[in-house]
Chains A and B, each alone.
Chain A
Amino acid sequence: MNLPMVLRILGLMLMIFSLSMLPPIGVSFAFGDGHHQPFVYAFLVVVSAGLALWLPVRRVHRDLRLRDGFLVVALFWVCLGLAGATPLLISDVPELSFTDAVFEAVSGFTTTGATVIVGLDDLPKSILYYRQQIQWLGGMGIIVLAVALLPVLGIGGMSLYKAETPGPVKDEKLTPRIAHTAKALWLVYLTLTAACALAYYVAGMEAFDAIGHAFATLSTGGFSSYDASMAHFQSATIEMVAVFFMAAGGTSFALHFVMFRQRSARIYWRDPEFRAYVGTLAGLTLGVSAYLYLAGSYGSPLEALRYGSFQVVSLQTSTGFVTADFSSWVGALPPLLMLATFIGGCAGSTGGGIKVIRWLLVIKQGLAELRRLVHPSAEIPVKLAAKPVPVRVMNAVGGFFAMYLLLFGAMMLLLMVVGLDQVTAWSAIATTINNTGPGLGAVAVHFHDIPDAAKWVCALAMLIGRLELFTLIILFTPDFWRK
């Protein structure tokens, strides 16, 4: 373990992060909400924490090992939760406890979008802006940003990058240098966010709302500056813009990058994961809308389609915006939508969930097993885009599912132990581990009313989900710490 180097990078990244306290100060002055002080203090606190970590070890120059990468990323995400909570904690509107402030920050960074704040509409603009901004930073990942900006990371950047954006088949880099790849990803992210903000603005949002909601859309985060979320706007146009850009956020950014470079949209269609992703989105939309219409919840098919498509895309991509109270929709729809969050976006996207590619591989594996029963001596490799998938990848995917299920079950039971009912408990874990936001039962709108212990479990679930299990879980294995 290379502790000095780990601390050095941690300190550097905290210092970078402290800069994110500056835009809210600007917002505060621009809107004259008189609420800049918490951010000034938070900036000083975070920057000095970073300095305190960095100063004693600033001269250490060693290469990061793969193992150190996991430690840096996991520690940094925990630090982010604390550092990001500072302004919320300092500020007296909203008045948040330590637990609530950390929950809100973690929910923001992991792009979950579950909130403990009630009465968003009355909050100062700077706080509202800050919440949207942490979602945006968490979407592509501050570590990816650091890899893009800090050349000192060198080859260590690769291990950090891999630890923060895991995924079953991420071996091909977009460019030879990891720093360039990270830069390219952020550039694509920035461009799409700008496009989204512009579209929102044209569709009728105010500039402040347009930018804030674009932040939460591309990052598939789901924070809104209104208690009513997207329903506040009551505009079908805005909702369709949101649907489009949520779906874009759930698409692999590597695909976006290649599309930008080759200027050809055919790239998307050639990708089997993207086809399956769009297929599930479309299929679920049709199914849910038809169900809503036939059950008589909405008067016209078009209206059913409007609310159905928005909720399906919002939940499957793990964004978590709402335009309707889907938790009280008829019959099987609430649990169906909750289950859709398990599908998630594509690998390499900002979306949460298990990721489409893993489902694709596991289902193909299942079908292969069936064929093997009929032809016991057949060679049946699992293929993706006509190329065989290495057994190592298949094993990793299998392990991922098993671990996901295990953690899901364990944390759900924990929530029931601290007093939540069954529906609330399972949906709360589903929505946090998949980084979605809204749940069912007592957590259908916000997480304000559940006990503190439950909030900590949910915050842990969010981190586990955002880092795709292994990066966090590995720290709890004896193997990791063995010399």
Chain B
Amino acid sequence: MKIIILGAGQVGRTAAYQLSREQANDVTIVDTRDEVLRDLQDRLDVRTVVGSAAHPSILEAAGGADADMIVALTNSDEVNMIACQVAHSLFGTPTKIARIRSPDYSLRHRLFEEGGLHVDVMISPEQLVTDHVSRLIRYPGALQVLDFADGRVRLVGMRAVSGGQLVGHQLRELRDHIPRRDTRVAALYRQGRSVQPEGDTVIQEGDEVFFVAARDDIRAMMKELRTEEEPVKRVVIAGAGNIGYRLARTLEDYNQVKLIERDPARARRVAETLNRTLVLTGDAADEELLLEENIDDADVFVSLTNAEEANILSAMLAKRLGAHRVMALINKPSYAELMEGGPIDVAISPQTITIGALLARVRRGDVARVHSLRRGAAEAIEAIAHGDSRSSPVVGKPIERIVLPPGTTIGAIVRGDDVIMAHHDTVIEADDHVILFLTDRRHVESVGKLFQPGGRFG
């Protein structure tokens, strides 16, 4: 697929990286900053074009005439929308994705209807990150909570802690522990390495476990892996930027939220629009301020400022001062790797969260949703099975007879309104949504082929 990415910011660069390492994609990336592009060109097999993203001549130079997809990720909503419109009018580009931050645009659906602006998919990284963090807060103890099939099935990643009922036991005992609930462990990471989960695998303390469950069964399963945690009440958020503000607004009705912002003007502005949140002006790394606001009582401390180093430091400080669980927004994958599981409980990586929306669009086969995991090393995919038992390698077959690439497990199946956990004898039917976990994302293309009628993994 020929893809043009506009804007080489954090998200743009991650998208270029993720998309270009799939052989099937030809990526061209456009930005106004020459030196950023030169650096990118040294590291990725992509073409770069310097110039203004929405200008027809630049889009033309980037190969707009035969591009299959354009992804506008510049800082400006307006440039992104116009670029999509230009691509549509001049080149008839089939898929146009734009990052649109401002809800003022994205909520006006008529703007993007027939006759309006030609944007096929809108993504708002801020909204995605906000949703992600609020899900993590709703499930204390989770490292990742990912939605499939409109949230009816979720994939939860968490670290096993002694005290969990299943820790130290074989996986097959799970059924005796929670008899009426059905969940499935899709992947297991021990000391950073993937372990194929089998019935006799013993869960150890510190294992990172990914399980698939229907929404209502998640809490029961979480209890198996760590001692039951009280629901979160007190949340402290550092940074009232786009994400911090949205998160406060999402949480303030059910939680006690404190929001710390350094810039007095901004603090004032958000205080005016938020109803129950307590907005504090000050530095999130100020020990006095944190103590004064009872950080030792906080259930969750989240730092969401633009400066990732500051986020790391203030989260570490909050942890030392007694905050129960701390999360930090970290862009650099290397930092996230260093911190997560150590001084910081959860590293929130905006690019990994955002990239899934793009990946789903470039995959072969009918793929409804892609979540990138473990900083791009693994992936969870919701694919739709089509065809019949003759044309498709998956339809009409029990799961044990489907030849999957190594490290791939089928976690669950959504059939109409039913959620079916995958067992070895479950038979896949046409139009099922199949949720797969890939511990090694290099096999995504083989998985894509499985869900293309007439294809076969070989």
Contact with A along B23-56 (1 / 0, CB 8 A): 1001110000010011001111111110000000
The answer to whether B42 and A177 touch across the interface, beta carbons within 8 angstroms, is: no
Taking a contact as CB atoms closer than 8 A, the residue among A66, A171, A177 that contacts B45 in the complex is A177
Known: A176-B2, A176-B27, A176-B63. A171 touches B38 (CB 8 A): yes
Chain B minimum-CB-distance residue to A158: B45
Q: Determine how close the nearest CB of chain A comes to the CB of B415; give it in whole angstroms.
A: 39
Known: A151-B23, A390-B34. A176 touches B46 (CB 8 A): yes
The answer to whether B44 and A155 touch across the interface, beta carbons within 8 angstroms, is: yes
Give Cα distance in the complex from A288 to B199, angstroms. 87
Q: Determine how close the nearest CB of chain B comes to the CB of A235; give it in whole angstroms.
A: 44
The answer to whether A176 and B42 touch across the interface, beta carbons within 8 angstroms, is: no
Which residues of chain B come closer than 8 Å to A173, judged between CB atoms?
A: 41, 47-48
Give Cα distance in the complex from A66 to B44, angstroms. 12
Chain A minimum-CB-distance residue to B34: A390
The answer to whether B41 and A180 touch across the interface, beta carbons within 8 angstroms, is: no
Which residues of chain A come closer than 8 Å to B42, judged between CB atoms?
A: 66, 158-159
Chain B minimum-CB-distance residue to A180: B26
Which residues of chain B come closer than 8 Å to A176, judged between CB atoms?
A: 2, 20, 26-28, 45-47, 63
Q: Does A287 contact B (CB under 8 A)?
A: no
Which residues of chain A come closer than 8 Å to B28, judged between CB atoms?
A: 176
Q: Does A234 contact B (CB under 8 A)?
A: no
Which residues of A388-446 are within 8 A (CB) of B? 390
The answer to whether B23 and A175 touch across the interface, beta carbons within 8 angstroms, is: no
Contact with A along B1-29 (1 / 0, CB 8 A): 01000000000000000001001001110
Q: Determine how close the nearest CB of chain B comes to the CB of A272; give it in whole angstroms.
A: 18
Q: Does A84 contact B (CB under 8 A)?
A: no
Q: Does A178 contact B (CB under 8 A)?
A: yes
The answer to whether A155 and B45 touch across the interface, beta carbons within 8 angstroms, is: yes
Which residues of chain B come closer than 8 Å to A158, judged between CB atoms?
A: 41-42, 45
Known: A176-B2, A176-B27, A180-B26. A154 touches B45 (CB 8 A): yes
Q: Determine how close the nearest CB of chain A comes to the CB of B190; give it in whole angstroms.
A: 23
Chain A minimum-CB-distance residue to B42: A66
**Chain B contact residues, majority secondary structure:** mixed
Number of interface residues of B (CB under 8 A): 19
Chain B minimum-CB-distance residue to A155: B45
Q: Does A479 contact B (CB under 8 A)?
A: no
Which residues of chain B come closer than 8 Å to A159, judged between CB atoms?
A: 42
Give Cα distance in the complex from A158 to B45, angstroms. 7
Which residues of chain B come closer than 8 Å to A151, judged between CB atoms?
A: 23
Which residues of chain A come closer than 8 Å to B44, judged between CB atoms?
A: 155
Q: Does A449 contact B (CB under 8 A)?
A: no
Which residues of chain A come closer than 8 Å to B37, judged between CB atoms?
A: 171
Number of interface residues of A (CB under 8 A): 16
Give Cα distance in the complex from A155 to B63, angstroms. 21
Which residues of A341-375 are within 8 A (CB) of B? none
Q: Does A157 contact B (CB under 8 A)?
A: yes
Q: Determine how close the nearest CB of chain A comes to the CB of B167; give it in whole angstroms.
A: 35
Known: A66-B42, A158-B42, A390-B34. A175 touches B48 (CB 8 A): no
Give Cα distance in the complex from A176 to B41, angstroms. 10
Taking a contact as CB atoms closer than 8 A, the residue among A154, A157, A172, A175 that contacts B26 in the complex is A175
Chain B minimum-CB-distance residue to A151: B23
Which residues of A152-196 are within 8 A (CB) of B? 154-155, 157-159, 171-173, 175-178, 180
The answer to whether A157 and B45 touch across the interface, beta carbons within 8 angstroms, is: yes
The answer to whether A171 and B26 touch across the interface, beta carbons within 8 angstroms, is: no
Which residues of chain B come closer than 8 Å to A178, judged between CB atoms?
A: 45
Which residues of chain A come closer than 8 Å to B46, judged between CB atoms?
A: 176
The answer to whether B47 and A175 touch across the interface, beta carbons within 8 angstroms, is: yes
Which residues of chain A come closer than 8 Å to B41, judged between CB atoms?
A: 158, 171, 173
Give Cα distance in the complex from A390 to B46, angstroms. 21
Give Cα distance in the complex from A171 to B47, angstroms. 9
Q: Determine how close the nearest CB of chain B comes to the CB of A42; give it in whole angstroms.
A: 34
Q: Determine how close the nearest CB of chain B comes to the CB of A63; give it in whole angstroms.
A: 10
Which residues of chain B come closer than 8 Å to A177, judged between CB atoms?
A: 26, 45
Q: Determine how close the nearest CB of chain A comes to the CB of B192; give it in whole angstroms.
A: 18
Q: Determine how close the nearest CB of chain B comes to the CB of A387; give it in whole angstroms.
A: 10
Which residues of chain B come closer than 8 Å to A390, judged between CB atoms?
A: 34
Interface centre among A151, A157, A173 (most CB of B within 10 A): A173
Chain A minimum-CB-distance residue to B43: A155
Give Cα distance in the complex from A172 to B49, angstroms. 7
Give Cα distance in the complex from A151 to B47, angstroms. 17
Chain A minimum-CB-distance residue to B4: A176
Give Cα distance in the complex from A173 to B26, angstroms. 12
Q: Determine how close the nearest CB of chain A comes to the CB of B376; give it in whole angstroms.
A: 15
Q: Determine how close the nearest CB of chain A comes to the CB of B2; give it in whole angstroms.
A: 7
Q: Determine how close the nearest CB of chain B comes to the CB of A104; give it in whole angstroms.
A: 36
Which residues of B324-366 are within 8 A (CB) of A? none
Q: Determine how close the nearest CB of chain A comes to the CB of B356; give it in whole angstroms.
A: 22
Give Cα distance in the complex from A461 to B40, angstroms. 33
Q: Determine how close the nearest CB of chain A comes to the CB of B441; give it in whole angstroms.
A: 15
Give Cα distance in the complex from A180 to B46, angstroms. 11
Which residues of chain A come closer than 8 Å to B34, judged between CB atoms?
A: 390
Chain A minimum-CB-distance residue to B46: A176
Chain B minimum-CB-distance residue to A157: B45
Give Cα distance in the complex from A266 to B49, angstroms. 22
Q: Determine how close the nearest CB of chain A comes to the CB of B212; give it in whole angstroms.
A: 31
Q: Determine how close the nearest CB of chain B comes to the CB of A185; give it in whole angstroms.
A: 14
Q: Determine how close the nearest CB of chain A comes to the CB of B12; give it in whole angstroms.
A: 15
The answer to whether A172 and B45 touch across the interface, beta carbons within 8 angstroms, is: no
Give Cα distance in the complex from A177 to B26, angstroms. 6
Which residues of chain B come closer than 8 Å to A180, judged between CB atoms?
A: 26
Q: Determine how close the nearest CB of chain A comes to the CB of B365; give it in whole angstroms.
A: 22
The answer to whether A172 and B47 touch across the interface, beta carbons within 8 angstroms, is: yes
Give Cα distance in the complex from A176 to B34, angstroms. 17
Which residues of chain A come closer than 8 Å to B26, judged between CB atoms?
A: 175-177, 180
Which residues of chain B come closer than 8 Å to A157, judged between CB atoms?
A: 45
Give Cα distance in the complex from A172 to B26, angstroms. 15
Which residues of chain A come closer than 8 Å to B45, judged between CB atoms?
A: 154-155, 157-158, 176-178
Give Cα distance in the complex from A151 to B43, angstroms. 16
Chain B minimum-CB-distance residue to A66: B42
The answer to whether B48 and A171 touch across the interface, beta carbons within 8 angstroms, is: yes
Give Cα distance in the complex from A180 to B26, angstroms. 10
Which residues of chain A come closer than 8 Å to B2, judged between CB atoms?
A: 176
Which residues of A260-309 are within 8 A (CB) of B? none
Which residues of chain B come closer than 8 Å to A172, judged between CB atoms?
A: 47-49
Q: Determine how close the nearest CB of chain B comes to the CB of A52; give it in whole angstroms.
A: 30
Give Cα distance in the complex from A374 to B34, angstroms. 31
Q: Determine how close the nearest CB of chain B comes to the CB of A168; give it in whole angstroms.
A: 13
Which residues of B242-297 are within 8 A (CB) of A? none
Chain B minimum-CB-distance residue to A178: B45
Q: Determine how close the nearest CB of chain B comes to the CB of A177; give it in whole angstroms.
A: 6
Which residues of chain A come closer than 8 Å to B23, judged between CB atoms?
A: 151
Chain B minimum-CB-distance residue to A154: B45
Contact with A along B41-77 (1 / 0, CB 8 A): 1111111110000000000000100000000000000
Sample 11 A-B pairs with CB under 8 A, ordered by A number: A66-B42, A151-B23, A158-B42, A171-B37, A171-B38, A171-B48, A172-B47, A172-B48, A173-B41, A176-B26, A176-B47
Interface on A for B, CB 8 Å cutoff? 66, 151, 154-155, 157-159, 171-173, 175-178, 180, 390
With A172-B47, A176-B45, A177-B45 already in contact, 19 other A-B pairs whose C-beta atoms are closer than 8 Å: A66-B42, A157-B45, A158-B45, A171-B38, A171-B41, A171-B48, A172-B48, A172-B49, A173-B41, A173-B48, A175-B26, A176-B2, A176-B20, A176-B26, A176-B27, A176-B46, A176-B47, A176-B63, A178-B45
Leading 6 A-B pairs by shortest Cβ distance:
A176-B26, A176-B47, A173-B47, A155-B45, A176-B28, A178-B45
